[in-house]
Amino acid sequence: MYKQVSKLIVYRDLGEDSILKRLAAIFEDFDWYKENVLGGSSAFTASKLEEMKDKKHISKESLITRIYGEIKRLLDLATDYGFDDNLWHNYLTFVMMTNENSFTLTSEKIGANDGSVNHFAMNDFNIFKELFDYNFYEIEKELDIDCFTTISNYKAIVKKERMYNYNVSQKVRELSKRLEKCDGEEGFFHEMTKFYADYGVGMFGLNKAFRIRNIGDKVDIFPINNTETVLLDDLVGYEIQKKKLIDNTEAFVEGKPANNCLLFGDSGTGKSTCIKAIINEYYDKGLRMIEIYKHQFKDLSTVISMIKNRNYRYIIYMDDLSFEEFEIEYKFLKAVIEGGVETKPDNVLIYATSNRRHLIKETWNDRNDMEHENGGELHRSDTMQEKLSLVNRFGVTINFSRPNQKEFFHIVTELAAREPSITLSQEELCAEANKWELSHGGISGRTAQQFVNYLAGKAD
Looking at the fold, whether 161 and 243 belong to one and the same domain comes out as no
Least confident window among 110-114, 389-393, 419-423 = 389-393
Question: How many independent structural domains does the chain possess?
Answer: 3
Regarding pTM above 0.85, the answer is: no
Least confident window among 113-117, 167-171, 308-312, 321-325 = 321-325
CATH of the domain at 268: 3.40.50.300
Return all residues near 116 (Cβ < 8 A) that are at least 6 apart: none
Q: For residues 325 and 423, which has the higher predicted lDDT (pLDDT)? A: 423
Our measurement of the distance from residue 457's CA atom to the centroid of its chain's CA atoms, rounded to an integer in Å, reads 31
How does residue 69 score in pLDDT terms, banded at 50, 70 and 90? very high
Count of C-beta atoms within a 10 Å radius of residue 172: 26
Axis crossing angle, helix 19-33 with helix 60-81, rounded to the nearest 10: 160
Looking at the fold, whether 164 and 242 belong to one and the same domain comes out as no
How does residue 46 score in pLDDT terms, banded at 50, 70 and 90? low
How does residue 15 score in pLDDT terms, banded at 50, 70 and 90? confident
Q: For residues 262 and 391, which has the higher predicted lDDT (pLDDT)? A: 262
Question: Among 151, 171, 205, which residue terminates a domain?
Answer: 205
Looking at the fold, whether 20 and 163 belong to one and the same domain comes out as yes
Looking at the fold, whether 233 and 369 belong to one and the same domain comes out as yes
- 196 close to 202: Cβ distance less than 8 angstroms: no
- 325 close to 361: Cβ distance less than 8 angstroms: yes
pLDDT above 70 covers what percent of the chain? 81
DSSP letters, 206-224, are H-SEEEEEEETTEEEEEE-
> What value does the mean pLDDT take over residues 414-426?
86
Residue 234 belongs to domain spanning: 209-400
- 228 close to 126: Cβ distance less than 8 angstroms: no
Axis crossing angle, helix 300-307 with helix 329-337, rounded to the nearest 10: 30
Looking at the fold, whether 43 and 156 belong to one and the same domain comes out as yes
> What value does the mean pLDDT take over residues 411-439?
86
Per-residue model confidence (pLDDT) at position 364: 46
- The 10s digit of each residue's pLDDT in 99-135 is 999 899 888 877 777 778 889 999 999 999 999 999 9
Sheet holding 209-215, edge to edge: 218-223, 209-215, 287-291, 313-318, 348-354, 261-265, 396-400
Q: How far is CA 382 from CA 20, 364, 371, in A?
A: 61, 14, 12
Closest listed residue to residue 8, CA positions, set 172, 166, 134, 121 = 121
How does residue 366 score in pLDDT terms, banded at 50, 70 and 90? low
Per-residue model confidence (pLDDT) at position 378: 47
Looking at the fold, whether 447 and 354 belong to one and the same domain comes out as no
Question: Among 182, 205, 228, which residue terminates a domain?
Answer: 205
Q: How far is CA 423 from CA 281, 409, 445, in A?
A: 31, 16, 21
For residue 355, which amino acid is it?
Answer: N
Looking at the fold, whether 248 and 388 belong to one and the same domain comes out as yes
- The 10s digit of each residue's pLDDT in 73-85 is 999 999 888 888 8
Q: d(Cα 254, Cα 271) in Å, to the nearest integer?
A: 23
> What value does the mean pLDDT take over residues 170-180?
93
Per the document, the length of the chain is 460
Least confident window among 303-312, 318-327, 357-366, 368-377 = 368-377
Looking at the fold, whether 195 and 331 belong to one and the same domain comes out as no
Return all residues near 362 (Cβ < 8 A) that are at least 6 apart: 384, 387
Question: Among 363, 381, 400, which residue terminates a domain?
Answer: 400
> What value does the mean pLDDT take over residues 174-191?
94
Beta-strand runs (E) in 181-286: 209-215, 218-223, 261-265
Per-residue model confidence (pLDDT) at position 374: 54
What integer best gives the mean pLDDT of the chain?
Answer: 83
Q: How far is CA 402 from CA 268, 269, 415, 416, in A?
A: 8, 6, 17, 20
- The 10s digit of each residue's pLDDT in 201-241 is 888 888 889 999 888 778 889 888 777 888 888 888 889 99
> 365 pLDDT exceeds 60?
no
Looking at the fold, whether 228 and 368 belong to one and the same domain comes out as yes
Beta bridge partners of 352: 262, 318
Burial class of residue 295, CB neighbours in 10 A (0-12, 13-18, 19+): exposed
Per-residue model confidence (pLDDT) at position 416: 87
Looking at the fold, whether 246 and 120 belong to one and the same domain comes out as no
> 179 pLDDT exceeds 60?
yes
How does residue 320 score in pLDDT terms, banded at 50, 70 and 90? confident
Looking at the fold, whether 441 and 391 belong to one and the same domain comes out as no
Per-residue model confidence (pLDDT) at position 327: 59
Looking at the fold, whether 371 and 448 belong to one and the same domain comes out as no
> 184 pLDDT exceeds 50?
yes
How does residue 166 score in pLDDT terms, banded at 50, 70 and 90? confident
- The 10s digit of each residue's pLDDT in 265-307 is 888 888 889 999 999 999 988 899 999 988 888 888 888 888 8
